């Protein structure tokens, strides 16, 4: 027979764990809590505490029941803690932070959670859980200081610092970003960057943005539009703090820097052009001198027919015009120190217009000169004024080029007003917006597209005019277009120590003349002219040969070109002055490069007369008597 298993419920006693002593369990829990627990009575004395409280306060458990709250709380916090305890006595749980003092006098920051403590329904005090947050508070303060420091660096940086999300929208911008872009911070945050980039630069910019998102770092230049529509050039350095999520960009506005670089490059180009033109001017003026001299010889013969004479006059006039163009180019391209002298404003304007006449003609721009012929010469630097007028004319050309019409008119008007000279340069372009009339003279400000202007022309012109004690401004005339007005003071020219030119003697004196020039046409032309005037002429192409001839024969005048392949005019004169002062005193110089500063300094120190190429042949008649008298 199978035995039936006894049921537990049927008289069988099952042994289980003993019942819990809940008070003892609670006491153990409190004793082992990592946070301090302090029980205080209604008199604010500590009734009991756990081990964590003793360790926090640096005391033993036996010491704590003999202390009041004022004994463990920092003096400045006692009133605050007392108030909080009173509110806890009233049944309101409290959470607050305060400072306690350890047995060694160390201050510790604590977070307190305080509530009423009752036994058998009777209020006996409060129980507080106290957590030491000193290290946490110090870490927070250190973090806050670090964040403040980096926030200050972020906001005070001169370069724009921005972050963008994966969609290219601004998420963070600093103050410099507001200044560079012209937008407020609130306007930038959340905005997509692409509409700020010109169409030409957008593909490159988007490509770099994608590279940044993928974790690359890099640097590139692009342009962007400010809020006011001005295009600026920026240099962007990028990285990705969070790959595929965020892009950090450091942005520097390099517009002015690039303009300065372009200006330096332009200055170097102008310096190179000056050197080139200086070297070429002599070579160009030599054949021009020969053409002009032979044209003068043909005109002097008076045997040509009317048609032939007209042709010869045209050759002569065009050779002189070509010479002026070369001279104007040389004047404009060469760097030189400020040098004021008696200056004809009309002559400077005409010389400058000569440089631009071809461009003006092909653009269909008619030039109208309305000159006041009573304007006197004034002390000014002609080279600097030419730069001012050239800037004005070039700006007028560009302005009229933007307006489509059958023809345009450039008007140059002068007026003599008391002790001043007023020059007006007026075009038929679109005019200048009223809000830009004052700004156009600011350095680097330009309304021209990239590559057409540096923004320095008008500011340089302003400086030159002020240096001449004058004024310059822009205005829009009633009929349209733009007008630039320059007012200069009339400063009477002072007497100079120029070489006195004596008039040719009525009765010609036969002179023995030596012509030293490496240009055959110049030698032949001068020999024919002097021989025709009854003089005895000898020519040579070599400075060295000239020195030999001067040792063999006495000459009344020696006409010397400043530039020759073997011995220059300066070397020849220096040699003569050292060993043959009498012949040195009869030298007359010629050159096609009178703008060479070194050459001009030598000519001034020598005191010898100069006839510039291409020359008027009668100019030699004026200086030959002076050379003859030197003996």
Tell me the mean pLDDT in the region 535-539: 94
Give a yes or no: residue 316 inside a domain.
Answer: no
- Measure Cα distances from 521 to 45, 294, 524 in Å: 125, 8, 5
For residue 568, pLDDT beyond 80? yes
Q: Which of 496-500, 525-529, 610-614 has the lowest mean pLDDT?
A: 496-500
Domain of residue 86, CATH code: 3.30.450.20
| 231 vs 437 pLDDT, higher one | 231
User: What are the tokens at 477?
Assistant: 């005339």
SS3 content of the chain, % helix, strand, coil (to 5): 45, 25, 30
Q: pLDDT at position 249, please?
A: 94
pLDDT of residue 338: 59
HSE value, Cβ hemisphere, 13 Å, CA-based, for 559: 31
The reported pLDDT for the residue numbered 194 is 93
CATH number at residue 588: 3.40.50.2300
Query: Phi and psi dihedrals of 78, rounded to 5?
Result: -60, -45
Confidence of residue 598 (pLDDT cuts 50, 70, 90): confident
Measured over all CA atoms, what is the biggest interatomic distance in the chain, rounded to whole angstroms? Answer: 179
Q: What is the DSSP string of 268-337?
A: HHHHHHHHHHHHHHHHHHHHHHHHHHHHHHHHHH--S-HHHHHHHHHHHHHHHHHHHHHHHHHHHHS---
For the stretch 20-66, pLDDT in tens is 555 566 567 777 788 899 999 999 899 889 999 999 999 998 888 88
Asked whether residue 355 falls in the same domain as residue 446, the answer is: yes
HEC assignment per residue over 25-93 = HHHHHHHHCCCEEEEEECCCEEEEECHHHHHHHCCCCCCHHHCEHHHHECHHHHHHHHHHHHHHHCCCC
The confidence band for 18, taking pLDDT boundaries of 50, 70 and 90, is low
363 is a domain residue: yes
Write out the H or E segment, with its range, that includes residue 360. Answer: helix 345-362
- Mean pLDDT in residue range 201-207: 94
CA distances from 448 to 180, 230, 474 (A): 20, 11, 17
Q: What is the pLDDT of residue 629?
A: 42
Do 188 and 246 fall within a single domain? Answer: yes
Classify residue 470: in a domain, yes or no: yes
What is d(CA 34, CA 367) in angstroms, rounded to the nearest whole number? 97
- Which residue would you say has higher pLDDT here, 226 or 499? 226
460 shares a domain with 341 = yes
Residue 347's pLDDT is what?
Answer: 92
Q: What is the pLDDT of residues 78-114, one digit of tens each?
A: 999 999 999 998 889 999 999 999 999 999 999 999 9
Choose one of 463, 492, 521: the last residue of a domain: 492
In a domain, 266, yes or no: no
If pLDDT is split at 50, 70 and 90, which confidence band does 274 have? low
Closest CA to 46 of 132, 130, 110: 130
Residues 6+ apart with CB under 8 A from 485: 422, 423, 424, 471, 472, 473, 474, 475
Residues 62, 191 within the same domain: no
For the segment 162-183, the average pLDDT, to the nearest whole number, is 94
Residues 6+ apart with CB under 8 A from 97: 109, 110, 111, 112, 133
Is residue 555 in a domain? yes
Contact yes or no for 402/408 (Cβ under 8 A): no
> Taking a C-beta distance cutoff of 8 angstroms, is the pair 273, 502 a contact?
no
d(C-alpha 315, C-alpha 311), whole Å: 6
pLDDT above 90: residue 248:
yes
Say whether both 45 and 90 belong to one domain: yes
Q: Is residue 282 part of a domain?
A: no
Secondary structure in 3-state letters for 121-187? CEEEEEEEEEEECHHHHHHHHHHHHHHHHHHHHHHHCCCEEEEEECCCEEEEECHHHHHHHCCCHHH
Judge if the upstream peptide bond of residue 26 is cis by omega within 30 degrees of 0: no
Centre a 10 Å sphere on the Cβ of residue 28 and count the other Cβ atoms it contains.
11
Q: Which domain-ending residue is among 253, 288, 323?
A: 253
Ranking 193-197, 267-271, 446-450 by mean pLDDT, the lowest is 446-450
Mean pLDDT of the chain: 84
pLDDT, mean of residues 371-395:
90
Same domain, 340 and 465: yes
Q: Which of 235, 253, 271 is the last residue of a domain?
A: 253
Residues pairing with 225 in the sheet = 231
pLDDT of 503 higher than 70 = no
* DSSP assignment of 410-459: EEEEEEEETTEEEEEEE--S----GGGTTGGGSTT---SPTTT--S-HHH
Distance of CA 246 to the CA centre of its chain: 33
Residues 459-500: pLDDT tens digits? Answer: 778 888 888 889 999 899 888 899 999 999 998 875 433 333
pLDDT at 19: 59
Asked if residue 463 and residue 357 are part of one domain, the reply reads: yes
Per-residue tokens: 565: 């392949």
Confidence grade of residue 157 (pLDDT, cut at 50, 70, 90): confident
For residue 367, the enclosing domain spans 336-492
Token pair of 420 as six digits: 């001043």
pLDDT at 21: 57
- Please report the sign of the dihedral spanned by the C-alpha atoms of residue 187, residue 188, residue 191, residue 194: positive
CB atoms near residue 518 (< 10 Å) = 17
Q: How far apart are CA 406 and CA 416, in angstroms?
A: 33
pTM comes to: 0.46
How many CB atoms are located within 10 Å of the residue 298 CB? 18
Instruction: Classify 604 as helix, strand or coil.
Output: helix
378 assigned to some structural domain: yes
479: domain CATH number is 3.30.565.10
Q: How far is residue 356's CA from residue 363's CA, in Å, rounded to a whole number? A: 11
Asked if residue 486 and residue 343 are part of one domain, the reply reads: yes
Whether pLDDT at 306 is above 90: no
* Chain CA centroid to CA 161, Å: 22
Within 13 Å, how many C-alpha atoms sit on residue 503's CB side?
A: 3
On the question of pLDDT at 454 being above 50, the answer is no
Clarify whether residues 122 and 171 are in a common domain.
no
Is the Cβ–Cβ distance between 222 and 228 less than 8 Å? no
State the total domains in the chain: 4
CB 233 within 8 A of CB 258: yes
Could you tell me the pLDDT band of residue 406, with boundaries at 50, 70 and 90?
confident
Mean pLDDT of 163-188: 94
> Which pLDDT band, with edges at 50, 70 and 90, does 595 fall under?
low
pLDDT computed for residue 592 by the predictor:
79
Co-location of 434 and 538 in the same domain: no
Residue 275 lies in a domain: no
198 CB-near residues (< 8 Å, 6+ apart): 223, 224, 225, 231
Which pLDDT tens digit goes with each residue over 318-376? Answer: 888 787 777 666 655 555 555 678 899 999 999 889 888 888 888 889 999 999 999 99
pLDDT value of position 344: 93
Higher-scoring residue by pLDDT: 629, 152:
152
Q: Which of 381-395, 440-454, 499-513 has the highest mean pLDDT?
A: 381-395
Burial of 534 (0-12, 13-18, 19+ CB in 10 A): exposed
Domain shared by 131 and 161, yes or no: no
Same domain, 127 and 166: no
Query: Contact at 8 Å (CB) between 37 and 128?
Result: yes
600 Cα distance to chain centroid: 35
The residues near 310 (Cβ < 8 Å, ≥ 6 apart) are none
Is residue 414 within 8 Å of residue 348, measured between CB atoms?
A: no
pLDDT of residue 445: 58
């Amino acid at each position: 027979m199978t035995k039936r298993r006894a049921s537990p419920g049927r008289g069988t006693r099952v042994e289980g764990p003993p019942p819990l002593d809940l008070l003892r369990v609670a006491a153990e829990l409190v004793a082992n809590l990592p946070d301090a627990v302090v029980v205080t009575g209604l008199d604010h004395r500590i009734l009991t505490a756990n081990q964590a409280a003793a360790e926090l306060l640096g005391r033993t458990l036996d010491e704590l029941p003999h202390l009041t709250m004022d004994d463990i709380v920092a003096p400045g916090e006692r009133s605050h803690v007392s108030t909080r305890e009173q509110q806890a006595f009233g049944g309101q749980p409290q959470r607050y932070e305060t400072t306690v003092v350890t047995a060694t006098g160390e201050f510790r920051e604590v977070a307190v959670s305080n509530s009423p403590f009752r036994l058998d329904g009777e209020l006996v005090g409060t129980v507080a859980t106290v957590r030491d947050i000193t290290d946490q508070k110090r870490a927070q303060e250190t973090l806050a200081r670090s964040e403040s420091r980096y926030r200050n660096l972020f906001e005070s940086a001169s370069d724009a610092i921005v972050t963008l999300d994966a969609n290219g929208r601004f998420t963070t911008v600093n103050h410099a970003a507001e200044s560079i872009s012209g937008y407020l911070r609130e306007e930038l945050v959340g905005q997509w960057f692409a509409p700020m980039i010109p169409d030409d630069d957008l593909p490159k910019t988007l490509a770099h943005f994608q590279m940044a998102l993928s974790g690359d770092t890099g640097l590139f230049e692009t342009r962007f539009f400010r809020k006011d529509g001005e295009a600026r050039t920026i240099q962007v350095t990028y990285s990705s703090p969070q790959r595929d999520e965020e892009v950090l960009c450091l942005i520097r506005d390099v517009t002015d820097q690039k303009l300065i670089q372009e200006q330096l490059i332009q200055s170097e180009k102008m310096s190179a052009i000056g050197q080139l033109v200086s070297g070429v001017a002599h070579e160009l003026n030599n054949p021009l001198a020969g053409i002009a001299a032979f044209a003068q010889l043909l005109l002097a013969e008076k045997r040509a027919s009317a048609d032939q004479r007209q042709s010869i006059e045209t050759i002569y006039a065009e050779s002189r015009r070509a010479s002026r163009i070369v001279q104007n180019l040389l004047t404009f391209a060469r760097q030189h120190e400020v040098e004021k002298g008696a200056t004809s404003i009309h002559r400077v304007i005409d010389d400058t217009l000569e440089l631009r006449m071809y461009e003006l003609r092909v653009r269909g721009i008619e030039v109208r000169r309305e000159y006041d012929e009573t304007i006197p010469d004034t002390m000014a630097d002609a080279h600097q004024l030419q730069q001012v007028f050239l800037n004005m004319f070039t700006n007028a050309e560009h302005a009229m080029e933007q307006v489509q019409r059958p023809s345009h008119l450039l008007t140059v008007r002068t007026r003599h007003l008391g002790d001043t000279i007023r020059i007006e340069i007026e075009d038929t372009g679109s005019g200048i917006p009223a809000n830009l009339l004052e700004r156009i003279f600011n350095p680097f400000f330009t309304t021209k597209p990239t590559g057409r202007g540096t923004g320095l022309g008008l500011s340089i012109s302003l400086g030159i005019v002020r240096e001449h004690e004058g004024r310059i401004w822009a205005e829009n005339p009633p009929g349209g277009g733009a007008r630039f007005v320059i007012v200069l003071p009339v400063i009477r020219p002072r007497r100079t120590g120029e070489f006195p030119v004596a008039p040719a003697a009525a009765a010609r004196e036969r002179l023995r003349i030596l012509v030293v020039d490496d240009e055959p046409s110049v030698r032949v032309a001068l020999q024919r002219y002097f021989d025709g005037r009854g003089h005895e002429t000898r020519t040579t192409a070599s400075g060295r040969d000239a020195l030999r001839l001067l040792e063999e024969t006495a000459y009344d005048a020696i006409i010397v070109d400043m530039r020759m392949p073997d011995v220059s005019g300066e070397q020849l004169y220096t040699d003569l002055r050292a060993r043959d002062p009498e012949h040195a005193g009869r030298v007359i110089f010629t050159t096609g490069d009178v703008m060479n500063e070194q050459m001009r300094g030598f000519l001034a120190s020598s005191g010898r007369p100069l006839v510039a190429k291409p020359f008027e042949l009668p100019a030699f008649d004026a200086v030959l008597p002076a050379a003859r008298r030197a003996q």
